Amino acid sequence: MPQPMHNTPRVVIVGAGFAGVFAARELAGAKADVLIIDRNNAHAFLPLLYQVATSAVESEHIAAPVRGILRNMGKKAANLDFCMAEVRGVDFGKRDVLAHGPDGQALSLPYDYLLLAPGSVTNTFGTPGADEHAFSLKNLEEAVRLRNHILRSFEAAAWTPDADERRHRLCFVVVGGGPTGVELAGAMAELMAGALKRDFPRLALASPCVTLLEAGDGLLPGFPQGLRDYAKRKLTALGVDVRLGAAVERVTPEGAFLKDGGAHRAATVVWTAGVKGEPVAARLGLATAPNGQVLALPTLQSMEHPEVFLAGDICRAEHAGRPLPMFAPAAIQEGRHAARGILRLLAGQKPQAFRYFDKGMMATIGKKAAVVRLGRFSFKGLPAWLLWLAVHLTYLIGFRNRLFVLANWAVDYFWSERCVRLISRRNPLA
Amino acid sequence: MPQPMHNTPRVVIVGAGFAGVFAARELAGAKADVLIIDRNNAHAFLPLLYQVATSAVESEHIAAPVRGILRNMGKKAANLDFCMAEVRGVDFGKRDVLAHGPDGQALSLPYDYLLLAPGSVTNTFGTPGADEHAFSLKNLEEAVRLRNHILRSFEAAAWTPDADERRHRLCFVVVGGGPTGVELAGAMAELMAGALKRDFPRLALASPCVTLLEAGDGLLPGFPQGLRDYAKRKLTALGVDVRLGAAVERVTPEGAFLKDGGAHRAATVVWTAGVKGEPVAARLGLATAPNGQVLALPTLQSMEHPEVFLAGDICRAEHAGRPLPMFAPAAIQEGRHAARGILRLLAGQKPQAFRYFDKGMMATIGKKAAVVRLGRFSFKGLPAWLLWLAVHLTYLIGFRNRLFVLANWAVDYFWSERCVRLISRRNPLA
């Protein structure tokens, strides 16, 4: 087992997502100096990105500055520090994380124990045109970019005399019928039937369309069949054109084109059909699965370096013989477990194997419509939606964020209003 | 007098700032088709830009989508429409506004009456380096850019071993002792003494500094002397280094250098020392004052084209023989007056001369500290601050915006917390 090289052992956590933040909480008060590194200064609550993209909540309200999170842990978190930096490499021999600071300065951050939790990025599986022409929804900037684009498409359509061109601008395609695709398509349909319909009364005849393309035979793979059928029914009722067995072959500025020859003309294509491990992990020379996840021991330790742990979307962990989905509940449990593994090593004990506790999974479709699998039980409709609200507010960090998001949801619920209809401008010098 | 060329006369308003929005309200329900053009889809409440720059409020909360403003006017606003476009020129002969739509499409928007209210931009008076190296605070993007930069400077300083370099990153210079400079310097000092001091406990020894440089012999020119002295005392008490008679000769990445040879090293220089009329007005071939304002008749009509009106910062209007300051109260009154002038022309009457009603002026310095001149009366301290709060909340458009800004102010007041400490990333494709 690796031994600390000086009096106070140093733990470095790469990534302030769910895994990193919950690991840091576990390590608060430990006899170790803990440093969290992230390229952003804030933890972002990614499950609500689709609400940023559809003008429902402010990007600032689903972001919590990491230093604020540490402060709110109180005095016991005095051993935690933060460094805003982009990780460029790890010297596993010297035990140094190599990073670029906010002004581009080169930083060398030594560790005795390292937790890698850099997350995931969109996976377009090499589909031609998807990287260039499709929007993505994996971080705050991409969500704001999609919001800007949706609103700008309506502003442009309002002053487009040609009917075909106007229709093209008002057609939106979401690729991928997983939770992100379902939630985004539902929220887009509600935005267009509510706030945007009132904003653009003269566009009423040229009604906008939202199409959801799923390559498989049903939405929400992994959910019980009854919930999958319900999700399709509800989305259709919201006006979403749900197409199953629709495998996208290529994306162009004209739209999405299917392997079976079908074509969906749309100025906006959003790709939610896949995620893969953050490329930085592969660059570190660690053994990865085909989807870019780093292979880990059952203890979440790296196969090559026992002092390195993995957690979150980057970590290939298994449950019941199958890889865990890359989602928040797994990241939280893995982050906690990896931190406990480091604490055990600090105490001279062996790390234990990770066991995922399956609480279930949930997705929202629209107002008063969600699906929840809770252990062995399934809910849908209003009870599922209320549970979805409660869980998301609970895991959203920061009292103020919860308050503001709840206020926005109330406005949306009672008046079908989406308040954040701001097109932010390009900021070349930001 | 010009006559409408068809049944329903067309009014075009360029700019959805204070002048444009208040003119539109005046024209709601009139027997004319009114089109508001703005390059942004939202009206921005510029008096609170300094609060966006200092992490106190969200940029979205001081922006109100123009289409939402029109909707909230109710049915009588059915004659109002909006076009998101960048004005490139006006064909005064054909009476066409030439603009680029959100997708770059060329638009030609005909008018019978035109109200030009495009606002103002920063004026650095040709000071070498100021345009390149100084931050500015005239729109939402610049405010977010400054917020990002302030927060990033602290993040970088926290990992800068060299003491001189660290000090450089933690020194902030504000150029200009008018209301914007005073409000920004005060808010920066409070941000650094409050939230950022708690965020960066290890930077405590290298305390940050805020310097306010004013070329004249006192702050807040135009305010009564007692208030000007009070503002200086209060800013100094907040820790701002106020330098009078400090004329900036040039700005470099090293800092601000004075005509008297003085040097203020700082990684951040913010230029608030001047505004000038939006350059588009000069490009239209209208006669302008040296500061880029367009000369107008006492009725706010253009000297050259009686069917064209001017309002807001772009309009050179006078009060008591002196040009009016370029600020919101003048813009609101001018916008209303210009709209009434158009209504009079529509009714076959002559427009009346504009008379500015001097309600006074106000500026805030910090918590419980503001200065107000109300007609002939002067206030300072807590009563002035409460009045400042009330007036700014009143003129902030949108119930939700008021609620959210008030909530942010309450958090700031009771906990000296600045919640919006998010460094947003560059978004090359926004």
Q: Of B71, B85, B145, which is closest to A427 when you measure between CB atoms? A: B145
Statement: residue A204 has pLDDT above 70: no
- For the structural domain made of A130-273+361-415, what CATH number should be given? 3.50.50.100
The label of the residue with tokens 């990445």 reads: B253
How far apart CA B191 and CA B200 sit, in angstroms, is 12
B133 to chain A: closest CA residue? A429
Mean pLDDT of B314-343: 94
- Higher per-residue pLDDT: B190 or A412: B190
Output the pLDDT for position A4.
46
Statement: residue B6 has pLDDT above 70: no
The answer to whether the CB of B146 falls within 8 A of the CB of B135 is: yes
A429: DSSP letter: T
Chain center to CA of A329? 12
The answer to whether the CB of A331 falls within 8 A of the CB of A312 is: yes
Provide, as residue numbers in chain A, all residues whose Cβ is less than 8 Å from the Cβ of B151.
41
- Residue range B276-303, pLDDT digits in tens: 999 988 889 999 999 999 999 999 999 9
Q: Which CATH class is domain A10-39+85-122+275-358?
A: alpha beta
Residues 120-149 of A with CB under 8 A from B: 140-141, 144-145, 148
Closest residue by Cα to residue A357 from A329, A328, A387: A329
How far apart CA B314 and CA B78 sit, in angstroms, is 28
- Residue range B21-57, pLDDT digits in tens: 999 999 999 999 999 999 999 999 999 999 999 999 9
Q: Name the CA dihedral angle for B276, B278, B284, B290, rounded to a multiple of 10 degrees.
A: 0
Lowest-pLDDT range of A290-294, B156-160, B202-206, B400-404: B202-206
Q: Of A144, A152, A422, which is closest to B102 when you measure between CB atoms? A: A152
- Is the CB of residue B75 less than 8 Å away from at least one CB of chain A? no
The answer to whether the CB of B393 falls within 8 A of the CB of A394 is: no
* ipTM of the complex, rounded to two decimals: 0.93
**φ, ψ of residue A72 in degrees (nearest 5):** -70, -10
- Residue range A343-378, pLDDT digits in tens: 999 999 999 999 999 999 999 999 999 999 998 899
**Same fold across A10-39+85-122+275-358 and A130-273+361-415:** yes
Provide, as residue numbers in chain A, all residues whose Cβ is less than 8 Å from the Cβ of B429.
145
Q: Of A58, A151, A428, which is closest to B41 when you measure between CB atoms? A: A151
Q: Do B421 and A42 touch (CB under 8 A)?
A: yes
Domain boundaries, chain A: 10-39+85-122+275-358, 130-273+361-415
**How far does A1 lie from chain B, in Å, by closest CA?**
31
How many percent of chain A have pLDDT more than 70? 97
- Residue range B118-177, pLDDT digits in tens: 999 999 999 999 999 999 999 999 999 999 999 999 999 999 999 999 999 999 999 999
- Residue range A87-125, pLDDT digits in tens: 999 999 999 999 999 988 999 999 999 999 999 999 999
Helix, strand, or coil here: B59? helix
Mean pLDDT of A313-324: 90
Query: Best interface-test mutation with B: which of A37, A62, A159, A405 has the largest number of B CBs within 10 A?
Result: A159
- Is the CB of residue B98 less than 8 Å away from at least one CB of chain A? no
Output the pLDDT for position B402.
87
Residue A347 CA neighbour count, 13 Å, CB half: 11
Output the pLDDT for position B282.
82
In sequence order, the 6+-apart residues with CB closer than 8 A to the CB of B61 are A58, B401, B404, B405, B408
**How far does B107 lie from chain A, in Å, by closest CA?**
8
Burial class (CB in 10 A: 0-12, 13-18, 19+), B340: buried
Band (pLDDT 50/70/90 cuts) for residue B426 is low
**φ, ψ of residue B219 in degrees (nearest 5):** -80, 165
- Residue range A227-272, pLDDT digits in tens: 999 999 999 999 999 999 999 999 999 999 999 999 999 999 999 9
Q: E strand or H helix at B335, and its extent?
A: helix B328-346
Backbone dihedral region of A300: left (phi > 0), alpha (psi from -120 to 50 degrees) or beta? left
Residues 8-37 of A with CB under 8 A from B: none
Band (pLDDT 50/70/90 cuts) for residue B407 is confident
In sequence order, the 6+-apart residues with CB closer than 8 A to the CB of A338 are A19, A23, A115, A117, A300, A309, A310, A311
CA distances from A204 to A79, A166, A187, A197 (A): 58, 12, 19, 7
How far apart CA B43 and CA B83 sit, in angstroms, is 13
How far apart CA B18 and CA B120 sit, in angstroms, is 12
Catalytic residues of A: 183
Q: Do B426 and A421 touch (CB under 8 A)?
A: no
- Average pLDDT over chain B, rounded to whole? 93
Number of residues assigned to chain A: 430
DSSP H helical segments within B95-219, as ranges?
130-133, 140-157, 163-169, 179-193, 195-199
How far apart CA A243 and CA B24 sit, in angstroms, is 45
pTM: 0.94
Helix, strand, or coil here: B361? strand
Helix, strand, or coil here: B203? helix
